[in-house]
Amino acid sequence: MRRMGCHGYCVLIVVLHVVALVRVSPALLQTATSDFSRDDFPPPPRFVFGAGSSAYQVEGAAFEDGRTPSIWDTFAHSGRYGDKNGDIACDMYHKYKEDVQLMVDTGLEAYRFSISWPRVIPNGRGPVNPKGVHYYSSLINELLSHGIQPHVTLFHYDIPQALEDEYGGWVSRKIVKDFTTFADVCFREFGDRVSHWTTMNEANVFVLGGYDKGVFPPGRCSSPFGSNCAGGNSTTEPYIATHNILLAHASAVRLYKEKYQAKQHGLIGLDILTYGLVPLTNSTEDEKAAERAHDFFHGWFLNPLVFGDYPESMKRNVGSRLPSFTPLQSKLVKGSCDFFGLNHYRTMYIKDDPGSLNMNQRDYLGDMGAQMLSKQGILPTGEFPIDPAGLQIVLENFKEVYGNPPVIIYENGQMTFHNASLDATLNDTSRVEYLEAFMGGLLQAMRNESNVKGYFVWSFMDLFELFAGPRSTFGLYYVDFDNPDLKRYARFSAHWYSSFLKGRRINQYLWHY
Ligand code: BGC
């Protein structure tokens, strides 16, 4: 069997190059363990293993029971991805009971999903749609009746199109009030049964894809930074949207804490994408560039949420295009996360790019003054290189820089290309190798005192994969999108994860499953 975990060599390279970014403890030099079992992690509910999805990517039923389009429907229907869209997706809206049964068969302890705002409040504000509420209530009850903990995201890239049309969605301050009202409805209707709320999924990626490059909904950008832009300004809007996202998050959290938390006993946080950020060379310039990349990519959200303000390097390089917090806003945003959701897939190598700061017109990358390079890129097979040291670096950084707040790894998983042969599609050994390596790396980080409370594979099943393109899949379960019934099949990775969750050790023996 081919094995590709991150070896001592790559851990060492990473560690040598990252000293300026975080103080790395010598224990990080140890490679991720590949001999572990469920019992090596704290038991649920102190630590949960799950898998995830998002509303637009799995539900389908796009025009049913009162749902109206979100910005993601509009984006998908603009032809960016040929004739593909999420109108039907996995049809989980109708198949949720059988999907929960698959989760039970797999042994999932928790399931992460998101709530479609335009399904619950079709015009973005105003009347609540009882059928939308009924769907999520039933899903939550189905999960709980099988002992699966629901982890719920309020925004996974799909605000109602009505609000985008009315005032420009996230670029307007008006969204703070509407988002808070939507959150209020969700807390009121579902909060008695939800232990973990996340306000925003991958907020940092959303604002860059949606407002700088224009490659994610709502597709806003300006030339030369993006093409086919649906209006926008890449030099300012990512910063404005981020500011409004932080204020909307903080406002929803304040409401939750004042009105619900004492009786519902849940926790609330925000989720970002993280990269292991490694200087390309050991030059001082690249090391400084890696620090800036950390400030721009992670600190953009984490610094306000933990310390109440944007990182100094951002204030310096972005200047007046970076909105500032009033003292009141800063107080509201600071400390507004009970935990952080971290999505993690890959390591990025950072190269200093001093010339970019001399340009008259700069977008986010220009302001960062650094290039983010993926050293190996995506492998020809469509897979990500396997580098769990990157996750260990992120967690170490959290510990050292942000005071070790509780974190949940909400997305981690391997991308594979669709394969014409069913056997090849189901035999996803590279996904198992990836998960094994990252779970081993996570265990190592936890042994080094990282405060991690959960790990979720992305994704539970194949879904409408807008970001990486329709050829790519992440699912533990394969969904045959050509089959009228959208039949689900367990992949090797589903069996492997299930064995682990049911108590078998992850070691060579398991490879003969
Ligand atoms: C997103 C998911 C997406 C995944 C793989 C993450 O950025 O949260 O919605 O499916 O990446 O592309």
pLDDT for 76 beyond 90? yes
Domain membership of residue 27 (yes or no) is: yes
DSSP symbol at 126: S
Confidence at 505, pLDDT banded by 50, 70, 90: confident
Indicate which CATH number applies to the domain containing 458: 3.20.20.80
Q: Sign of the C-alpha dihedral, residues 199, 410, 479, 485? A: negative
DSSP symbol at 263: H
pLDDT for 392 beyond 90? yes
Secondary structure class of 154 (helix, strand, coil): strand
- For the segment 249-256, the average pLDDT, to the nearest whole number, is 98
How high is the pLDDT of residue 326?
98
CA count, 13 A, side-chain hemisphere, 385: 17
Task: Write out the DSSP string of 188-228.
Answer: HHHGGG-SEEEEESSHHHHHHHHHTS--STT----TTT-SS
Structure-token pair, residue 235: 């030099």
**Average pLDDT, rounded, for the chain:** 91
Cα 273 to averaged position of ligand 1 atoms, centre (Å): 9
Whose CA is closest to 398, among 349, 442, 437?
442
Q: At residue 28, what is the residue type?
A: L
How high is the pLDDT of residue 8?
26
State which of 153, 467, 472, 479 you would mutate to test the pocket of ligand 1, scoring each by most atoms of that ligand within 8 A of its C-beta.
467
Task: Write out the DSSP string of 61-85.
Answer: -TTSTT---BHHHHHHTTTTTTT--
Domain membership of residue 1 (yes or no) is: no
- For the segment 419-438, the average pLDDT, to the nearest whole number, is 93
How high is the pLDDT of residue 120?
98
- For the segment 404-418, the average pLDDT, to the nearest whole number, is 95
Residue with tokens 């999903």: 113
Cα 358 to averaged position of ligand 1 atoms, centre (Å): 33
Locate the ligand 1 atom nearest the alpha carbon of residue 463 and give its number.
Answer: 10
* Cα–Cα distances in angstroms (integers) from residue 501 to residues 44, 104, 319, 443, in the given order: 11, 11, 49, 15
Could you give the angle at the alpha carbon of 37 between the alpha carbons of 34 and 41, nearest 5°?
Answer: 105
Residues 6+ away with beta carbon under 8 Å from 182: 117, 120, 121, 124, 125, 154
How high is the pLDDT of residue 208?
97
pLDDT for 184 beyond 70? yes
- For the segment 316-341, the average pLDDT, to the nearest whole number, is 98
Domain membership of residue 375 (yes or no) is: yes
- For the segment 96-112, the average pLDDT, to the nearest whole number, is 98
How high is the pLDDT of residue 34?
75
Locate the ligand 1 atom nearest the alpha carbon of residue 345 and give its number.
Answer: 11
The answer to whether 261 and 197 are in contact (CB under 8 A) is no
Q: Whose CA is nearest to atom 10 of ligand 1?
A: 465
Residues forming beta bridges with residue 478, ordered by sequence position: 489
State how far the Cα of 50 lies from the Cα of 106, in Å rounded to an integer: 10
How high is the pLDDT of residue 285?
97
The answer to whether 27 and 61 are in contact (CB under 8 A) is no
Residue with tokens 């579902």: 190
* Residue 188 vs residue 14, higher pLDDT: 188
Q: Would residue 220 be called left, alpha or beta, if left means φ above 0 and alpha means ψ between -120 and 50 degrees?
A: beta
The answer to whether 221 and 212 are in contact (CB under 8 A) is yes
Domain membership of residue 3 (yes or no) is: no
How high is the pLDDT of residue 306?
98
How high is the pLDDT of residue 243?
98
Domain membership of residue 2 (yes or no) is: no
Confidence at 11, pLDDT banded by 50, 70, 90: very low
Residue-wise pLDDT for 439-488, tens only, equals 999 999 999 999 999 999 999 999 998 766 667 899 999 999 999 999 99
Task: Write out the DSSP string of 395-452.
Answer: HHHHHHHH----EEEEEE---EE--SSHHHHH--HHHHHHHHHHHHHHHHHHHTT--E
Locate the ligand 1 atom nearest the alpha carbon of residue 459 and give its number.
Answer: 10
How high is the pLDDT of residue 247?
98
Domain membership of residue 195 (yes or no) is: yes
The answer to whether 482 and 20 are in contact (CB under 8 A) is no
Q: Which residues line ligand 1 (CB under 6 A)?
A: 54, 57, 201-202, 205, 273, 343, 411, 458, 465, 467-468, 474
The answer to whether 289 and 279 are in contact (CB under 8 A) is yes
State how far the Cα of 69 lies from the Cα of 58, in Å rounded to an integer: 15
Residues forming beta bridges with residue 343, ordered by sequence position: 273, 411
State which of 205, 213, 216, 458 you would mutate to test the pocket of ligand 1, scoring each by most atoms of that ligand within 8 A of its C-beta.
458
Q: Whose CA is nearest to atom 9 of ligand 1?
A: 54
Domain that holds residue 191: 8-512
- For the segment 113-121, the average pLDDT, to the nearest whole number, is 98
Per 3-state DSSP, what percentage of the chain is helix, strand, and coil (rounded to 5)? 45, 15, 40
Q: Whose CA is nearest to atom 11 of ligand 1?
A: 467
State how far the Cα of 402 lies from the Cα of 334, in Å rounded to an integer: 12
How high is the pLDDT of residue 470?
67
Secondary structure class of 114 (helix, strand, coil): strand
The count of domains in the chain is: 1
pLDDT for 329 beyond 90? yes
Query: Of all residues in the chain, what percent carry a pLDDT higher than 70?
Result: 90
Domain membership of residue 100 (yes or no) is: yes
The answer to whether 297 and 318 are in contact (CB under 8 A) is no
Cα 176 to averaged position of ligand 1 atoms, centre (Å): 24
- For the segment 208-229, the average pLDDT, to the nearest whole number, is 96
Confidence at 134, pLDDT banded by 50, 70, 90: very high
Most confident of 8-12, 33-37, 469-473: 33-37
Confidence at 341, pLDDT banded by 50, 70, 90: very high
Tell me the catalytic residues.
202, 411
Give the β-pairing of 370-373 and 339-352.
antiparallel
Cβ-in-10-Å burial (0-12, 13-18, 19+) of 351 comes to: middle
pLDDT for 501 beyond 90? yes
How high is the pLDDT of residue 282?
95
